[in-house]
Amino acid sequence: MFDFVVAPHSGPGGCDVEVLKALSSEHELTVIASELTVPEGGARSVRHVRIPTVPHPGLASFLLYVAQASIAYRLLRLRGTRFDLVQATDCSRLAADVCYAHLCHRAFLTEIWPQLRTRPTARTLHSWANHKARALIEARLVRHTRVIVVPSEGLKRDLARLYPEVAEKVTVIRNTVELAEYDQPHGFDRRDFRQRLQTGDRHTAFVFVALGHFERKGLPMLLESLRADGLEDARVWVVGGEPGLVAAYRTRAKQLGVADRVAFAGRTEDVRPFLWSADAFVAPSHYEAFSLALLEAAAAGLPLILTRISGTEELLEDGVNGFEVQRNAASLSAGLRRLLDLDAASREAMRSAARNSVEPLRPERFAAAWRALYASLSA
């Protein structure tokens, strides 16, 4: 298995950990990664070939990983190690038996990036270059693989539209979430946690979660939406982001006049206290495959305010487990107000519906799908 990071704090890497968990009882697995979290019970069957890399900038770090991982693989082969299958996650290799795709970088660059209207700063230019490099690898990888696994029907459509020759190779295995991990524990002081985020009882807290990529995830639109009338009691918690990115958006919130309505928490090892303490989850993303943050929020029983894109279209029922919004600030403001206008009973019904919507996505189903795929490829 090739991936830059195979660990829960990475979106694709967290999915890799679940794949390892599903397969480690039946297969011997070698993970070529800069970082690995070995799943419980996998210590004997999961081997880590660590690839050293540089922390920053991200693009240089990724390209250095790709080059060194390829060398490490060739050295293993020269020493006599043989592999039945090679899996590459998110453009981590130029060819593989299994491509585990979490984004169509070509679709994002050609169809979504122009809509973002981002200013050409060092950070946004680096982001564009990062996606461009991955798109170049993607174009080769999808053509040199036996099967492409994607987490949503939407991503399957994107790949089939932009790479029509690979359409027959694409299969969907939806992401998973362990519901019990998102049950609020007894004794958790929700009020105290909210107060630490300057959020009182009269406020409605909307939590926005992203490791980074704030432009793609729609944070600029969310901050703009808070300027609308009727949202004086709305509070937004922004969870995630490196310090430099958070500082840039804290400045942006001040410029928009909404700094008193936004709390920036930065990166955290455990997002669950934010989910247990919030009133709703908001994700006005421009492009996703199938957001893990969305599944975690639903598992925690949060009403969902979402744009209809890949992944969300398979989960969101407007007016039942959340509200659909368009990709503009006016529509997002209206969606936030719809949640604010709900009475307590309606909010509770929506919370239950959100949790019920991810019931079918339990780990057992995910594991069975991956075992069946590997069995078919090994036959």
pLDDT digits (tens, 9 = 90+) for 68-78: 999 999 999 99
Q: Which residues contact 363 (CB under 8 A, 6 or more apart)?
A: 18, 21, 22, 176, 177, 178
**Of 260, 211, 267, 255, nearest to 236 (Cα)?**
260
Structural domain spans, the chain: 5-176+362-378, 179-360
d(CA 219, CA 208): 8
Residue with tokens 């490829």: 377
Burial of 331-363, coded b for 16+ CB within 10 Å and e otherwise, reads bbbbbbbbbbebeeeebeebbebbbebbeebee
User: Is 108 a residue whose pLDDT tops 90?
Assistant: yes
**Of 79, 22, 25, nearest to 49 (Cα)?**
79
- For residue 117, the model assigns a pLDDT of 73
Secondary structure element (H or E) that encloses residue 10, with its range: none
pLDDT band of residue 147 (cuts 50, 70, 90) is very high
User: Is 292 a residue whose pLDDT tops 90?
Assistant: yes
CATH of domain 5-176+362-378: 3.40.50.2000
d(CA 329, CA 323): 14
Are 5-176+362-378 and 179-360 the same fold in CATH? Answer: yes
User: Is 61 a residue whose pLDDT tops 90?
Assistant: yes
Average pLDDT over residues 1-14: 94
- For residue 12, the model assigns a pLDDT of 94
**Of 80, 79, 16, nearest to 48 (Cα)?**
16
Q: Which one of 3.40.50.620, 3.30.70.1150, 3.40.50.300, 3.40.50.2000 gives the CATH number of domain 179-360?
A: 3.40.50.2000
pLDDT band of residue 378 (cuts 50, 70, 90) is confident
Token representation of residue 176: 């998973």
Q: Where are the beta strands (DSSP E) in 118-203?
A: 147-150, 170-172
Measured distance between the N- and C-terminal CA atoms of the chain, rounded to whole angstroms:
19
Q: DSSP 3-state assignment of 118?
A: coil
Average pLDDT over residues 341-365: 97
